[in-house]
Structure 1
Amino acid sequence: MIGRIVRSADFERVLGTPAHARSVHFAVHYLRAGPSGVRKSTSAPIDTKLSTGEAPEQGKPVDESLQAPPSGCWLGAVVPKRHARRSVTRNLLKRQIRAAAVAQASLQAGLWVVRLRSPFDRARFASAASDALRDEAGRELSRLMADAVRHAAVA
Structure 2
Amino acid sequence: MQRLKTRPQFQAALAGGTVSRTAHFALHRLTLAQPTDTSAFPSGQVGPAPSQEQALFDLFDVWLGAMVPKRWARRAVTRNAIKRQIYNVGERFCHHLPAAAHVVRLRTTFDRKVYISASSDHLKLAVRQELEQLFERALHHGHHQGVRS
TM-score interval, normalised by the smaller of the two chains = 0.7 to 0.9
Which residue identity lines up with residue 79 of structure 1 in the other structure?
A: V
Q: Residue in 2 aligned with 1:32?
A: 31
Q: Residue in 2 aligned with 1:90?
A: 79
Seen in structure 2, the aligned counterparts of structure 1 residues 141 and 9 have a Cα distance that, compared at 3 Å, is same
Seen in structure 2, the aligned counterparts of structure 1 residues 83 and 71 have a Cα distance that, compared at 3 Å, is same
**Using the alignment, how far apart are the partners of 2:100 and 2:49 within structure 1?**
19
Give yes or no for the alignment of 1:73 onto 2:62. Answer: yes
Say which SS state the counterpart of residue 96 (structure 2) adopts. coil
What TM-score, normalized to structure 1? 0.75
**Using the alignment, how far apart are the partners of 1:76 and 1:91 within structure 2?**
13
Whether the aligned pair in 1 keeps the contact of 2:12 and 2:53 (CA below 8 Å) is: no
**Using the alignment, how far apart are the partners of 1:9 and 1:31 within structure 2?**
12
Count, aligned residues: 129
Whether the aligned pair in 2 keeps the contact of 1:30 and 1:152 (CA below 8 Å) is: no
Q: CA deviation at 1:14?
A: 1.2
Say which SS state the counterpart of residue 125 (structure 1) adopts. coil
Seen in structure 2, the aligned counterparts of structure 1 residues 113 and 66 have a Cα distance that, compared at 3 Å, is closer
Unaligned runs of 5+ in 2: 34-46
Specify which structure has the higher proportion of helix.
2
Whether the aligned pair in 2 keeps the contact of 1:101 and 1:107 (CA below 8 Å) is: no
**Using the alignment, how far apart are the partners of 1:21 and 1:71 within structure 2?**
22
* Percent of residue pairs identical: 38
Q: CA deviation at 1:24?
A: 0.3
**Using the alignment, how far apart are the partners of 1:106 and 1:63 within structure 2?**
25
Q: Residue in 1 aligned with 2:132?
A: 142
Q: CA deviation at 1:153?
A: 3.3
Alignment map for 1:114-153 (pairs within 5 Å): 114-153=104-143
Unaligned runs of 5+ in 1: 35-58
1:118-149 deviation line (CA, Å, top 9, x unaligned): 00000000100000000000000001101112
**Superposition RMSD in Å:** 2.4
**Using the alignment, how far apart are the partners of 1:66 and 1:8 within structure 2?**
14
Say which SS state the counterpart of residue 71 (structure 2) adopts. coil
**Using the alignment, how far apart are the partners of 2:70 and 2:54 within structure 1?**
37
